[in-house]
Chain A
Amino acid sequence: MLEAVEQLPLAQFLRRDLFAYPIVNALHILALAVLFTTALLMDLRILGLGNRLDLKAVIDTLRPLAVGSFGVAVLTGVLLFIVQPLHYAPNPVFWSKIVLVGLAFANAGYFVLARRHLDPGSSRTRLSAVMSILLWTAAILAGRAIGYFGSE
């Protein structure tokens, strides 16, 4: 399965083209920057920072940016992965990062679906905002660590 992924024409192109990989790599970082910043600003607003800004306006403005940048981050992340799938798959640090992203995404999904922003005074909503900041930070730290630790 991973061997087949490795042989995809797109994977071979990304592996060997001088510019495609660095560009995808940079786009991944750019997407993380937008995602982390927008999530952080929404979380901080829930926790009380910038209370003179209307909560609904903040969420309505930032949420589409967060969702869109998450999509770009996943797409570029998949592209980076298929360059050396057999190299990353056995790496425990890679899997820590994936689990952390999954948890951060689940936390965000709960927040959106349960419409928690309508109830910023609730302790569950505030806990969710704190978890969001911690999980996205941990996911980024783990992601950066992939290149330095645990590689075969």
Chain B
Amino acid sequence: MSFFARVSVLAMLTGLPLTLASPALAHHGWAWTSTDARFELSGTLTEIYIGHPHATVEIDDGETIWHVDLAPLAATLAAGFDETAVAIGEPVTVIGHRAADAGQARMKAVRVVTSSGTFDVYPRRAAALGD
């Protein structure tokens, strides 16, 4: 086999394990979360991203900085949530589902609560919370 073919096969063989080695960091969809258990997190906002492909916030609960996925941009904005809803350093509560791998400080929120209101970024899932 030529040198180029060997390098190519090597790249394909390393690409797959690299991908499989990092599924715990996934963000698309809900498969990476524990959707059967409600999870609530309160803390201070340390970062906010409102944009494609989906919005995210980071929250400091006093011990750890949590990475929180929200909905895609259009759904997040439709819920009324953007940078005007909460400022960095202000308290914020998110309700949703945490990563199935409990060692990870990551979750996906269906509802965000700030001093300016309650924002259901996944309205149907938020209604199903029964809060």
Contacts and interface: CB of A to CB of B under 8 A. Distances in A.
Contacts of A97: 15
A27 B124 CA distance: 31
B5 A150 contact: no
Given A134-B12, A138-B15, A103 B51 contact: no
Contacts of B49: 84
Contacts of B128: none
Given A18-B74, A21-B53, A151-B25, A96 B7 contact: no
Contacts of B11: 96, 99-100, 103, 138
B41 to A, nearest CB: 19
Contact of B19 (A93, A106, A135): A93
Contact of A131 (B8, B23, B28, B73): B8
Nearest to A106: B4
Interface string B60-87: 0000000100000110010000000000
A99 B19 CA distance: 14
Interface string A12-34: 00111010011000000000000
A42 B18 CA distance: 30
A106 B11 CA distance: 13
A92 interface: yes
Contact of A96 (B2, B18, B29, B50): B18
A107 interface: yes
B8 A145 contact: no
A18 B76 CA distance: 11
A150 B20 CA distance: 9
A21 B12 CA distance: 29
7 contacts: A107-B8, A134-B8, A138-B12, A142-B15, A147-B53, A149-B25, A150-B22
